Structure 1
Amino acid sequence: MKFGILVNEGPYNHQASDSAFQFAKAALEKGHEIFRVFFYYDGVNNATSLGQPPSDDRNVTKNWQKLAEDHKVDLVVCVAAGLRRGIVDGNLAPGFRISGLGQLIESGIQADRIVTFGD
């Protein structure tokens, strides 16, 4: 099965990002495909290169980066939501890219299922 994932919450104020990551990881381990992960609303904060979590805490951004690198997962940040929250090309973490809502629509067309994490 081919999944599209929509992440609507930031990395440290809600469980949604961790749940989305664990879902994606488990789906890939079971042989499914992740067509794209689209970060929207506060979810765009998962893509900042400016975050510095304590060394004894998980680094959600790096988790997403490694997943994308290991499995060629497309990580897309909504441009409008990003701009509202100060996420721009200059502080975008490697492995993420900025694009528009058309990428979310394409996920809905190409994937068998869209799974949403967060409000």
Structure 2
Amino acid sequence: MQFAIAVFSAPEQASNRRALRFAEAVLAEGHAISRLFFYQAGVHSASSQQVTAQDELDLPRAWHEFVTQHQLDAVVCIAAALRRGQLNQAEAERYNRDGYSVQTPWELSGLGQLHDAAQSADRLICFGGP
């Protein structure tokens, strides 16, 4: 079965951790993930600059390792990311900013990527949200 997974919650919220555990279970059970899509506060999951308390799970790092290890399609909503100061190198240059926090394997792209994922997957599973 093909899953698309959307993460709307920030890394410090329990639903973000549940999203990661669900994604791990999907692959462990032999299913596939067609796309991970990070939206709203979920875009902070792609930040290489977020610092997590030593006694907590570093979810941005865990997501990065998971996506890299499994070579997954991981998309960060560009509008939500820019609004929250999460830029990749190209956007930092475009907006004349000194630094950037979104790096490979993350891709900044539009909300249409979530629509495409929902259309092509057997199931769209969402975590967090308003």
Where does residue 75 of structure 1 map in the other structure?
A: 74
Report the TM-score, using the length of structure 1 for normalisation.
Answer: 0.94
Of residues 118, 123, 127 in structure 2, which corresponds to 1:108? 118
Where does residue 50 of structure 1 map in the other structure?
A: 49
Where does residue 20 of structure 2 map in the other structure?
A: 21
Where does residue 60 of structure 2 map in the other structure?
A: 61
Aligned residues of 2:48 and 2:102 also touching (Cα < 8 A): yes
Percent sequence identity is: 38
In structure 1, stretches of 5+ residues that fail to align are none
Distance 1:93 1:11 in 2: 17
Deviations 1:51-83, CA, capped at 9 Å, x for gaps: 121333211011111111121111110001011
RMSD of aligned alpha carbons: 1.0
Q: Name which one, 1 or 2, has greater alpha-carbon Rg.
A: 2
Aligned residues of 2:48 and 2:61 also touching (Cα < 8 A): no
Q: Which runs of 4+ in 1 moved over 3 A?
A: none
Where does residue 93 of structure 2 map in the other structure?
A: none
Report the TM-score, using the length of structure 2 for normalisation.
Answer: 0.86
In structure 2, stretches of 5+ residues that fail to align are 89-99
Describe the SS at the equivalent of 1:56: coil
Distance 1:32 1:10 in 2: 25
Distance 1:85 1:27 in 2: 29
Length, aligned pairs only: 118
Distance 1:111 1:55 in 2: 37
Describe the SS at the equivalent of 2:55: coil
Deviations 1:35-61, CA, capped at 9 Å, x for gaps: 111000111111111112133321101
Amino acid at match of 1:71: H
